[in-house]
Each structure stands twice: as structure tokens, then as C-alpha cells.
Amino acid sequence: MKTKFKDAITTENICAVLVLVFFIAYPIISSAYQTLNMANFLITVILALSLALIWGYTGIFSYAQAAFYGIGGYTYAILCKNFTDPALTPLFLIGGVVMGFLVALFLGYFMFYGGVNDVFVALVTMCFTLVLETFLAQTAGSEWHIGAAQLGGFNGINAVTPLTIGTFPVKNLALYILALLLVIGIYLAMRIMEKRNLGYCLLSIRENRTRSEMFGYNTAFVQMMIFAVSGAIAGLSGVLYTSWGGYIVPSAVGMTQATMPVVLVAAGGRKNPTAVVIFTLFYLSLSQKLAASGSQYSLVLLGLILLLVVLFVPKGIIHSLFEIIDRKVVLPLKNGKAQAGGAAE
Amino acid sequence: MLNSIFNYFYQFLDSFSFLILAVAGLAIIFGMMGIINLAHGEFIMLGAYMFTILAKASVPLFLAVILGALFVGMFGYVVDKLVVSRLYGRPLDSVVATWGISLLLRQGILILMGPSLPGLTTPLGTFAVGESTYSVYRILLGVVAVLVLVGLYFLFMHTKFGLHSRATMQDNSVAQSLGINARRMYSTTFMLGSALAGLCGALYAPTMTITPTMGQAFQNDSFVTVIVGGADPLVGMALSGGVLGVIQSALSLLFGTFFGKMGLLVVAIIVIRVLPKGFSGLVEKHMVKGKR
């Protein structure tokens, strides 16, 4: 048991605990506005984790996370406009998640059972996202409605009812706590899965698809299912965003939004959910500061980060930092403590 | 009757030439190197900017097109040396990196040149068939598209460069052991692909509004064409350009441009399910069977 605990002391885990403490303390040490802002960051963290699950673990590179995010958000908003009873909103949340799941399942079926992989998945998902945005942006006319919900073209759907449990609206602090719990849940599920058979199966598909298939795994099925789960998580993020801001617009599906998770996951470290969470926080607070000084440079910054990361730190900035600190600080410390054991090895 | 047949033919030629010219650069880079250049649309945009600036400076249009293509070809060479050549053999990373380049170019041009350039009017005037009038320039674009296909066919099938590049495509390591410099083949291909993107941008510049985001209009269609076409740049490009051109022009005529675009995506998704290797995979299978 003791050795197991010692194995768990890595830079990654220490940072994870620190980040958790930070999140718990955050509402106490900062204003209500800042907390609400941080809730939005947490929602983006969920989106980023949805990509880390398929790209980092399974090796499926998708541009469609923003599309699933938008589908979740639009489903929630459309349901809210059609059934005005706020007590039903938790069902709408589930509706948005299920919709994200189903659309991803559909797209995944065509791709993975068609033997489409790697670069082509990137292309198909990108085309899908582009078409969805084009479609939503041209729905300005009054003929574009689903039930009582006008799709509204560029203006999107506004004044959407926030998520309500019973009669209690999940806003401000409550929304923060809900988003935090979901982030913790998804994060822990990913970390635990890493050490279970399911996780091994995903990793083996990432490393060598043909060999995994030879070992008897139905890789197309596994890829399709994990893609659908990731679509559901992205949909969840979209629902929370719509509930957070009270609106959803086509640009939520647009190119900037579609690039965001890719940048966050690539630059943080795609095989490492902790790194993704940390980098997302870091990047969002930086870009918010930059936006105050003129938003036209934020896209340039995104592009530059992507380029430099791919060229010089392909494992991701935070992930590489973890590895360096592990090697230089944590490992010598551990070995120093257990000199006898270390010498025997 | 004859009028509507000509009308359909005109629409088809328009779609076909758009798809072929937009995809040519992307397809040969993909076929040769397995790399999808996500900055392809932005390369097209650069070609359009270069052409418009030159044309405004009263350079003859023909020369401006050539210079636009050459400029983007040189730009592609620089991009290859700085970025893409470091990522050979890592196709997914090159997707991410070229996407970064695409963001940089689009936003950089926006910051440098503003939200749009005043465009040129479409040259060469119009001609009438029955009651409708048609643009001569669009017909010329169709001719150029066919010329590009023929030119690429000649380049790949009847020159030393083509022989070497087909060898590299088929088996990189064997080609290298026989003394072909694969790296140089790659960077030449990337340059050629970029120049074709520039050519496309320069040719279409007089027909559309010049904005930093104009590349996206080409990007989506060219990706779909590559997906449907498959790995062989020539066969795939010609076949998928033709088939998609028929579908797009028919849908556009019947239901409007938006449905034309949607139709492309639907067809692409169905084709990859039925023919994972695209049209070139299908042709290859039957040709190989026939020979045996």
C-alpha cells in the first residue's frame, strides 16, 4: 500500500490537488462576478476534456467538438422556447446531451465503419462544422423555426431560461458548483479509466489500430462509441454555456470556437487531462486580458501558439513541464527518502 | 429546350472548374506527402490579394495571374522550409501546424489590409444564348481548369519529375534507395501545390469580393473533393470534380446555392462510407483486376 502511495506522488497529481484546492477556494476569495466568469472557464474546460478524451486517449482528431457544443446548446434553447415550464429544464439538459451523443454517433458510424481515419476524420469533422455554421447563420427568416423557437440567423436564440432544479435557478454560485462537480467527475472518470481495461483499449487503438484489431477488439465500434461519448460531453458543455449566458449564436459553432479546444488540448498536452485543465485556465485568463486591449490579436496569438507548440513542444507545454519537474525534482526527492530501496534497484 | 440544356452545361462547367481549380494544389500535396494543408484556403486568398494589387497597378491581367501564382508558390516554399519540412511523417501534427498558419494569415491580412479590398469587375464581358446572358470569363475558367488537368497529367506521366514523384508516392524508402531525394521531391511538390492555390485565387479574384476570409469558400469544397477523390491526385481529382460538379450544379439550379453546398457534404459522407478510398481507390481496384 505504501509503495502505491509513493508512486502516486508525481508532479501531475500534486498539481491536480493544488488546482482542486484553488477551485474550491475561488468563490470564497473572489467576487460574485469573478466566480461567474470562472464558471464559464469551467464550461470550456469540459469542452476541452471532451477533445482530450478522443484525441489524447484514442487518437481521433476532431474539429467537430464545437459543432456538438452548438448542437447541445441549440437543443436546450429550442426545448426551452417550446416548453416554458422552468422545472423541465433538467430534462432539456439531458436532451442536449443526448442530441450531442446521437449526432456524434451518426457521424462516427459513417466515418469509422467506413474506415476513415486520421487526417480524413479531421477533414470530415471540419466540413461538418463549417456546414452547420453556414446553415445556422442563414436561418434569419421567420420560416426557420422549430415549434415556437425561431432559429434567428446570426442573432441566434436569446433570453433562454437558465437551468432550474425544482424552483431553484442554477445561477451564479450554484452554476459554478455544478460546473465544478461535472469537471471533477469527468476528470476523475478519465484518470481512473486510464488504468482500466477500457482505457488500455483506447490507448492501444491510438498506438496501433491494426494491431488492436488483430487482438480482437472491434476498433470501429469502440471508436464510434467513444466519439459519441465525447460528443455528449461537448453537448453538455454547450447546454451549460447556453444556460450560463442565456443565449446561443451560430458563432458558437464557428471557426474560432472550433479551433479553441484543439489549441487548448494540443498546447496543454493532449495525453494528459491535468495539463489540459491547467492550460485552459491559463489561456482563458490570458486571452481575456488580451481581449481588453484589442481582440484582433487574440486569433494571431492562437495561431502562433499552435505553430510553436507543434514545432517545439509536440507533447504540450504543461505536459512537458510535468515531465521535467518529475525528472529533476520529484524523482531525486523520492529516491533520497528511500535510499536503501533505490540502491537495491 | 436548347437554352436550358446550355444553362445546365454552363452551371456544371462553373462548378466543375471551381472544384478542380480549388482542389488541384491541395490534391497533389495530399497525394504526394499525405499532408492536408489546412492553410490551403488562405494560400488561395493570398493569390487573390496579390492579383488584385497587381491589377490595380495596371499590370496586364494575364501577367498578374502568373505573378500571383509564382508569389504564392514562393511563399509555399518558405512555409515548407520553416514548418512543413520539420513535420514530414507526422500528418496530424502538420494538420494542426498548418491550421495555425491559416489563422495567422487570415488575421494578419485583416490587420494589415483591412476587412476588404475593392474588387475588379469580371473581365471579357458576356454573351447571350437565347434570352439569358453568360459570362465569357467563366467559360475561360472552365478551359483553364481542363488545361490544369491536362498539364498535371503531362507533368506526372511524361516527365522525369513525374516519374520520380510517382515512385516516391508508391514507396518512399525504395525510391530513396534508388537515389531519389525524397525531401526535395516533397518541398517541390509543396511549392507546386501552393502555386496552384495561388493560381486559383488569382483566377477567381475578379469574380468575387476580396476579403481575408474568402479562402473558406474554397476550402470546404476542396476538402470535400479530396475526400471523395482519394489518394491519387489525378484520377481522383478529375472524377470527383466531375461527379460533384454534376451534383452541385443540379442541386443549385433546383433548390439554390445553399443546398448545392449541403449536397456536397452529404455526398462526401456517403462516398466515404461506401468507398473508403474514394474514386481513385475504385478505379485502382478495377484496373488491377482487369490487368490480372
Q: What is the mean predicted confidence (pLDDT) over A254-283?
A: 84
Residues 6+ positions from A225 with CB-CB distance below 8 Å: A105, A108
State the best of A127, A135, A139 to mutate against chain B, taking most chain B CBs within 10 Å: A127
pLDDT at A345 over 50: no
Chains A & B: contacts with CB separation below 8 Å: 111
Sorted by where each begins, the domain ranges of chain A are 2-337
**What is the chain B residue with the closest CA to A126?**
B220
DSSP state of B178: T
pLDDT digit string (tens) for A157-184? 877 778 777 777 777 788 898 999 999 9
In this structure, are residues B193 and B22 in contact, taking their beta carbons and an 8 Å threshold?
no
Residue holding cell 498539364? B151
Which of B91, B226, B274 is facing A118, going by the closest CB pair? B91
State the best of A105, A109, A307 to mutate against chain B, taking most chain B CBs within 10 Å: A307
ipTM confidence: 0.72
- Say whether A303 and B104 touch across the interface (CB within 8 A): yes
Report the alpha-carbon distance of residue B122 to residue B136 in Å, rounded: 9
Give the count of beta carbons closer than 10 Å to the beta carbon of residue A135: 16
Extract the C-alpha cell encoding A297.
490579436
Query: B231 to chain A, minimum CA–CA distance in Å?
Result: 11
Q: What is the model's pLDDT at position A153? A: 74
User: With contacts defined as CB-CB under 8 Å, which chain A residues touch B95?
Assistant: 61, 119, 122
Q: Quick check: A138 contacting B, CB < 8 Å?
A: yes
pLDDT at A342 over 50: no
Query: A306 to chain B, minimum CA–CA distance in Å?
Result: 5
State the best of B88, B92, B93 to mutate against chain A, taking most chain A CBs within 10 Å: B92
Q: What is the model's pLDDT at position A228? A: 95
- Say whether A314 and B93 touch across the interface (CB within 8 A): yes
Q: What is the mean predicted confidence (pLDDT) over A333-344?
A: 55
pLDDT digit string (tens) for B124-143? 777 777 677 777 888 888 88
Q: Quick check: A314 contacting B, CB < 8 Å?
A: yes
pLDDT at A344 over 50: no
- Residues on chain B bordering chain A, Cβ-to-Cβ distance under 8 angstroms: 34-36, 38, 83, 86-87, 90-97, 99-104, 106-108, 110-111, 216, 219-220, 223-224, 226-227, 258, 261-262, 265, 268-270, 272-274, 276
Q: Quote the Cα angle for A246-A249-A254, to 5°.
A: 135
Locate all alpha helices (DSSP H) within chain B, ordered by sequence: 2-33, 40-56, 61-82, 91-113, 136-158, 160-170, 172-177, 182-204, 215-229, 233-255, 257-274, 278-291
Query: A330 vs A342, which has greater pLDDT?
Result: A330
pLDDT at A343 over 50: no
In this structure, are residues A119 and A62 in contact, taking their beta carbons and an 8 Å threshold?
no
In this structure, are residues B244 and B15 in contact, taking their beta carbons and an 8 Å threshold?
yes
The type of residue at B180 is: I
Closest alpha carbon to B175 in B163, B188, B189, B187:
B163
Q: What is the model's pLDDT at position A293? A: 64
pLDDT at A339 over 60: no
DSSP state of B143: H
pLDDT at A89 over 60: yes
Residue holding cell 437554352? B3
Strongest mean pLDDT among A135-144, A226-235, B87-96: A226-235
Report, as ranges of residue numbers, the positions in chain B whose pLDDT lies below 50.
Answer: 291-292
